[in-house]
Structure 1
């Protein structure tokens, strides 16, 4: 995410910033969207930015579900 991001969505884990940036570029590439390497997405349409954000959310939810399923299998919790 761009360093000059004025978003109120602060990261809970600041160290995740690089991984989220990488995910953003990977998802944009998968969707066929040319995301600028400087991180400025102002030239993209709201549809394109929304698509990238939506797919990031879907992927993060999938990762969290997999981790919870793994924890539940190991500890017998969450049943």
Structure 2
């Protein structure tokens, strides 16, 4: 995802490239001009939040669609990788 701190870990590490592509597609749909370098740290929080928020909306819609179609999507096991000091 971003080039800065990486504290969040993917539940399914193999999905990293797909999520990165999903981020760029969502930004494009919102009309947000992403710099060629891919660095988004100089964009306002509101813009980056809009991208993330719309990604979540699309993922929820896809999940609901699969449930409405009778499919039983798998439930991933979520573990907390962070430990508190």
Unaligned runs of 5+ in 1: 73-79
Equivalent-residue separation in structure 1 for 2:59 and 2:27 (angstroms):
15
Within a 5 Å distance, the mapping from 1:1-79 to structure 2 comes to: 1-2=1-2, 4-70=3-69, 71=71
Indicate the RMSD between aligned Cα atoms, in angstroms.
1.7
| Runs of 4 or more consecutive aligned structure 1 residues displaced over 4 Å after TM superposition | none
**Alignment length, in residue pairs?**
71
Q: Which has the higher helix share?
A: 1
15-24 or 36-45, larger mean C-alpha shift: 36-45
Normalising by structure 2, report the TM-score. 0.70
TM-score (norm: length of structure 1): 0.75
Structure 2 gaps of 5+ residues are: 73-85
